[in-house]
Every structure is written in structure tokens, then in C-alpha cells.
Structure 1
């Protein structure tokens, strides 16, 4: 190799090094400028006068009563931390406002004075069920998605995995919030919450207790099986006792909640907990497991009665020759799945409250309405309605 060619190769090498260094330095400068601009924008939004910011956000929240424009409220809560904290203070629970806004609203009791109108769409091929909020009282084909459930058939039981995500519904997902489990005959069901609905909730001993979001570094949400309701269907092998008879025992809700001024536990937020504070799964199975500052409202003590719901007895219509219930136009197709739940007074005389807490009925081939109110939540109501879809060998 000649001396001239060696010099040329060295020039080319130094040139490539210098160009790479220039590009890397210029990239750092552009990146630093971008970070600075983002920080300035963040500080501009975050450093607005609190009085002015609160007034603006209150006007936005009050003007958006329905869900199509209500997405602006959620968007404002996602701007920055200060906006989010103010929005959490302004937006009231469904019990007070009658509105479903943030995901936590699905775990909170519904309004006291009216039924929240929803509908469920069933997909037979994928064995999934999607819960939507009615945007209007006329059509059910366009709603706000709330929850999804997927049926998992096992040899001796059936699980309905309930998720906040319409596409992903599994216990390993960070959107998993609970499940419904049936026995072999489909006559008894248990509703499990992934997180305790009150500070005194105890986790059930189950092999499916696990951490959600294991791929995340931190924080992680400890999920367990906290039983919040038990549903039982009366045996009716020969069909001689008429329509289905069901009973729901709400473990997390005191019976006094349906009385004037009564309160039901209200979960305030999804609590992320660092895995370091939970050294082993044995901690979850301890009888002393408690989560502080998790909910508001009195909790049912061992001496207090829990809320018991029973299906409202239908009447026989002589002209139509069928059993009938007054759904106020919300149900149009006769089905064994249709029901209305009212509170049992528990005085030993079999009396029941006339106020319908949950009603469920068929309006199409794979379309069902679901209306609920205080003291149960959308999650609890959805799980109860899912029990009506399950095959019942000994109930009809």
C-alpha cells in the first residue's frame, strides 16, 4: 500500500468519526431543547393560579352532563398532577352526581334517586360480554363502554373474568378487577373483587391470588379474591315452581344502607401498592389482612346484617298466559333470564322493599338491558347479571 493511499484512508476515518460526533452532539442539543420546551409547557399549565384553575374546571364539569362531551372532564384530569387532584375533588361520586366519570366510578354505589341505564352485548362465538352505558333512552347500539367479561369453562366450575379493557380480559392483566365463579350445577355463584371493597375485607384462600402487572417495575397492585357477594338459585328440576328464584347476599354492604340516611362502603381509588411491602402471599391469607384508607362508610360488623337481595315475584297474566314484571319499557323480549332484584327486609315474614335495585332483561337476540342504583355498584350489578347467562342444570 502506498503512503498516499494510507493518508487518504486516515482522512476518511477521521472524517467519519467527526461526522458521527457532530450528529450525536446535535441530537443531544435537539433532545435537550425538546425536554426544556416540554418542561416549560408543563410548568405553564401546572402553575396556573389555583382559584382560576378551579373555576375553569368546575365550569367544564358542570357543563358536561352526558358522556359524549364528558370526555373533556377526563381529558382535563390527564393534563398534569395539579389538574388531576382538583378534578378528583370536583367530580362527585355516582351516589351524589348520578354520573359515571372515572374508572373508579364502576366500583362505587350508584345514585339513590334513579336507575343508571346500561346494556350488555353478548358475543356467543368469543364467549365475551360487554357492558355499555346508555347514551340515550332510544337506541342501544351506541353506548359508552364500561366493562368486559370473558367466560372460562372449567371441568367443575365456570369463571367469568371481568376487566376494564374491552380487548383484554384475564387475571394477568392490569385491567383485571374481579370475577364471578359458579359451582358445577350453576346454582351457586360467588363474586370476587380483585381489591378489597372496604378496609376490613379478607382475602379468600384461592390458588389464583396473584400480583397484577408483573411486567411493570413499580407500582404493582396486589390482587386477591375478596368475596363481595354470594348468589344462589333455588333448585327447580321439574319446573313446577314457576320462574327462577334467586337470592343475593351482599357481603360488603350492610342492610342499613337502604334505609334513609344509610351508607354503603365507597371505594375512593384503585390503590397501587409496592410489592416490597408484601413479602409473600402468606400475608394475604392472614386473618389480620387490612388495607387502611381504602373506603368510606360504615362496614358491616359480625353483629350487623348484610344486605340481602331477592328477585321480585312476577305475576301471572291470564290473557298473555305468561309471567310478567313491570320493567317500564326497558325489556321487550320474554326470557327466563329476566329478573328484578329488591331488598329483603329480613324480618322473618318474607317482606320485601318495593324499590328495584337491579333489573335485567332481554331486548334482542344478544342484547340485554341492565339498570341499577344505590347501594350496589356497576361492577357488582354486572357480575350478578352474568350469573343469569350461565347454564343452570337444575333450575329449569
Structure 2
């Protein structure tokens, strides 16, 4: 009860800060209208951050503060109660720093807390279970955290959303943190999936560069300036992190779909004994750096070439210097009584569909990957209703990468089945 009262007071404090800032802004407006001006003390500020830092919560001793946040983090293990942990991080700088230190990555705790958790690898032992809801009229796909819509109800946590955009020669799936805005100019943009004309090959683009410092340094030299980047809030570019290929099956004689995913940003060593996968700790991209803008004047050509794919090829060549992780779909078995292809989804899939698949690691004998690791299902996706699908992923994939791979299954593939 004490913890819940503390969190309740935190939420009331946050609401109170908003009302204080609004009243202060109204007061400044009224003073200007009356022709009065006030001189503030040196070093003072009227922002809401100063109000937070001067509150009684910011002056709590660090030892007590750590104990409070530890108890909140340990007691709230599922959404929507998990949002109390996020509320602790939004109180002030000291609370945010301690909360970020105490909250572990999904690999360590199996929980999703902050938006950056969607870019971090999942747990090693048990998969994170999610479901995808397809909205046919709008071409929108929403990823929720939970076992299924029936068990989660209306309180499901929205993780990611994607909008399908058809073009003349390709299809794009724009992925965002929110379900209403799918523009690249918004900070909620996290990446996209692009297909070729036949829908047999897909490329996953990430909005931020790989967290490997060696790759980042090389990517900065290859950075391209786009005409729209005259405004500071436009993301710098997309970074190709994975490719998905579907095997052609024009004669329809080789069973269901066969797919292969090459994760350029994840080395094969991540599934070896003692291996690790890249784990970003915060959202970073080149728009935060001080790069000179390129003025575009009428009648003159821009000084830098503008190509959406010019950055992807050099990055892939850099990433391919290491052996990338390759995923392939697990081969189904033919069921004589049911007269269909079957996979063991352990009750997570209930409707037969050509979209259903399970992905496992594919490695050469020289890559020293144990047989048990190659048998582990890293990602499984299947249908449970008319427009409801389950998605379970685990290490070394992240929620964003797993969601993008599953989106490739929704595109039409006339040459594959």
C-alpha cells in the first residue's frame, strides 16, 4: 500500500506540474497584456524541469530512492501496472538515472519497460509472447504484448504499429511507436520494411545506426544528406540491418513457403556458447549531431547526391565482414491423417495458414554452433483468428526485428505459393 501511494503521489505530482506550468504561462501572457515586466533572479528558470528538481521528491536521499524504485520495479511485472516504473523515470533527472540503472534489459529480466526495449534482444530462456492485430480497411498492423486478445482484454500494451503502403515497384511497411502517425519526420518512427516487385525479397531498415562503435564510425563517413533535412527534426537515414528472401515455388510442388533471413546487424557468434548480440541502450541517430545543412536554392542542383539506397550498400558491405546470423524456417512434416503440413506450435497457433512459420538458426559446421541451439525456435508466427496472429520471439532478435520479419508474411507472393 505504501508503494502504491507513493506512485499515486508521483502521478499527481506530474499532473500538478502541468497545471503549474500552464498557470505560469497564462500569468506571463496577462503581464505582457497589461504592459508589466518582471525581472527574474539570476540563474532561475520557468521551465517545468526546474519545478520538478525543486520538488520534495528530488531531495530524497539516494539510498532511500534506490530502495523505493527497486520495490516498484520488482512488484510491477506486467502491463498496465508496469507503467508505474516508467512514471518513476519521468519525475526528475535523479529518478530517471537511477531507474535506468535498475531496470534490466529484456535479455536479463524478460520484461519490456521503455521504448528502447523494443530494439534490444529478447530473453534467452523463454520467449516474449505477443500478438498482432490486422486492420484490413486501413492496412494497419498493431503489435501488442500479451498471450492473446482474449486473455489480455482491452488493457493490452501497444508495442509497435505498421502501415502498409503500396508503390508501383515495391511495398513499404512503415513501423512506428504509435498507431496514428507513420511519418518519418516524427520521433516515433523506428524503421520500415521494403519488398521488391514480386514480393520475394524484403529489406529491413532501422532508423538508427548499429550500436557497434566500429560500424558507426564507418557509417558517418558514408552519410548522405537529403533535401528534406533542412529541418532538424527529420531523421538522417535508414540503415539496412536484415534481408528476407522467399524461395520461388512457381510449380507449387515443394510444399509451403520457404524463407531465409540474413540478420546483417547480428553476428552468428550471438548463438554460440558465450556469445552476445548488439544491445543498444538509447535511441541515437545522426540528426542529433552537428552536421552542416545543405542549402537548396532554386535553379541549382544540390551539392550531395540524394539516393535512398546509397547508404544501405556500403553498410551491408561493412556488416558482412562478420558472419551474420542466418535464420531459416523450420521444415514442417506431412500429416497423413490430416493431409496437411504441420508444425508443433505448442498451442500458440490454432488456424492453418500459409503465413505460419517457425525460424531457427542455420549455421555451417565450421561456425561451432551446437545442435541444440540450431533446434531452438527463435521466432514463431501463426494465425489464431480471422485477423489475429501470435508472435513469440527470443534472443537474439528484438521486438522490432521480429515484427518486421512477420510483416513480410502479410505481403502477397504469387511466385511463392
Between structure 1 and structure 2, the one with the greater Rg is 1
Query: Aligned-pair distance for 1:329?
Result: 0.5
Greater share of strand: 1
Q: Of 158, 162, 165, which residue of structure 2 is paired with 1:152?
A: 165
- 8 Å CA contact 1:246–1:311 kept in 2: the answer is yes
Corresponding residue for 1:314?
332
Corresponding residue for 1:50?
62
The TM-score normalised by the length of structure 2 is 0.77
User: In structure 2, how many angstroms separate the alpha carbons of the residues matched to 1:222 and 1:36?
Assistant: 27
- 8 Å CA contact 1:173–1:212 kept in 2: the answer is no
Superposed CA offset, 1:227-284 (max 9, x none): 1110000000121110000000000001010122110001110126566612258599
Alignment of 1:118-267 (within 5 A): 118-134=130-146, 139=151, 141-142=153-154, 143-198=156-211, 199=213, 200=215, 202=219, 214=231, 220=233, 222-267=235-280
Task: Find the residue that maps to 2:80 and give its secondary structure.
Answer: helix
Q: Of 329, 341, 352, which residue of structure 1 is paired with 2:359?
A: 341
User: In structure 2, how many angstroms separate the alpha carbons of the residues matched to 1:67 and 1:95?
Assistant: 18
Q: Of 99, 111, 118, which residue of structure 2 is paired with 1:99?
A: 111
Corresponding residue for 1:15?
none
- 8 Å CA contact 2:200–2:245 kept in 1: the answer is yes
Structure 2 residue 395 is the aligned partner of structure 1 residue 374: yes
Structure 1: gaps of 5 or more residues:
1-19, 291-299
Corresponding residue for 1:89?
101
Superposed CA offset, 1:32-72 (max 9, x none): xx959995663222222111111111111111111221110
User: In structure 1, how many angstroms separate the alpha carbons of the residues matched to 2:72 and 2:35?
Assistant: 45
Alignment of 1:280-359 (within 5 A): 280=293, 302-347=320-365, 353-359=374-380
Superposed CA offset, 1:338-388 (max 9, x none): 000000022399x88110000000000000000000001000000000000
The TM-score normalised by the length of structure 1 is 0.81
Query: Aligned-pair distance for 1:25?
Result: 7.9
Superposed CA offset, 1:153-192 (max 9, x none): 0000010000011111122222111000000000000000
Task: Find the residue that maps to 1:179 and give its secondary structure.
Answer: strand
* 1:94/1:204 CA distance change after superposition, 3 Å: farther
Taking only aligned residues, the RMSD between alpha carbons, in angstroms, comes to: 3.5
- 8 Å CA contact 1:192–1:225 kept in 2: the answer is yes
User: In structure 2, how many angstroms separate the alpha carbons of the residues matched to 1:361 and 1:204?
Assistant: 41
Task: Find the residue that maps to 2:364 and give its secondary structure.
Answer: coil
Greater share of helix: 2
- 8 Å CA contact 1:221–1:273 kept in 2: the answer is no
Task: Find the residue that maps to 1:266 and give its secondary structure.
Answer: coil
User: In structure 1, how many angstroms separate the alpha carbons of the residues matched to 2:413 and 2:32?
Assistant: 72
User: In structure 2, how many angstroms separate the alpha carbons of the residues matched to 1:70 and 1:211?
Assistant: 38
Structure 2: gaps of 5 or more residues:
1-29, 40-44, 295-303
User: In structure 1, how many angstroms separate the alpha carbons of the residues matched to 2:175 and 2:398?
Assistant: 14
Structure 2 residue 410 is the aligned partner of structure 1 residue 389: yes
Q: Of 277, 282, 305, which residue of structure 1 is paired with 2:290?
A: 277
* 1:365/1:105 CA distance change after superposition, 3 Å: same
* 1:237/1:147 CA distance change after superposition, 3 Å: same
User: In structure 2, how many angstroms separate the alpha carbons of the residues matched to 1:341 and 1:135?
Assistant: 19
